[in-house]
Amino acid sequence: MNTCSEQDLLNEWTGSVTRLSDILGHPVDVASIPGGAYGKNVAQTAYRAGIRQLFTSEPVQQTWQVEGCRILGRFGIEREDSPAKAAAIASGKPLIRIREYTAWNIKRLIKQIASPLLRLLLKQS
C-alpha cells in the first residue's frame, strides 16, 4: 500500500470507509493497514478519508500521530500460537514482545530485499 500513488491511496481509503460505513450503519474511523505496509503517505491519506486511528502490523507498544491520525502497532496472534504465548503477549511480558518485534523486523527486511529481486527476475523471464 505504501507504494501506491497518493490518489490511489485516497481512493482506496475513501471507498473502503464509505462501503464499511454503509454496511455498519455508522461512520468508520478506525482501520488497519493491509499487510502492514505502513508509510507516512498511507496514514496521511487515511486521515483525509476520515480515519482517526490506524493500526499497523508492527509489534510495538508506542503510538504516534500523523496529522490527526493516531498510529498504533499490534501484536498478532496466529491460529497455531499457544494460549500461553497469547497470554504472555497480552500481559506485556517483555521477552516475548522483544522476540515478536525481532522476528517481524527480520521478515520485513527479507521482504524488502526479496521483492525487488523477484520483480527483476519476473521482468527477465
pLDDT at 16 over 80: yes
Residue 125 pLDDT > 80, yes or no? no
Burial of 14 (0-12, 13-18, 19+ CB in 10 A): middle
Mean pLDDT score of the chain, rounded to an integer? 90
Query: Per residue in 65-106, pLDDT tens?
Result: 999 999 999 898 889 999 999 999 999 999 999 999 999 889
CB 57 within 8 A of CB 35: yes
CA terminus-to-terminus distance, the chain: 26
> For the residues of 52-74, what is the DSSP string, one character each?
-EEE-SS--S-EEEETTEEEE--
What does residue 32 show for φ and ψ, rounded to 5 degrees? -130, 140
- Position 37 scores a pLDDT of 74
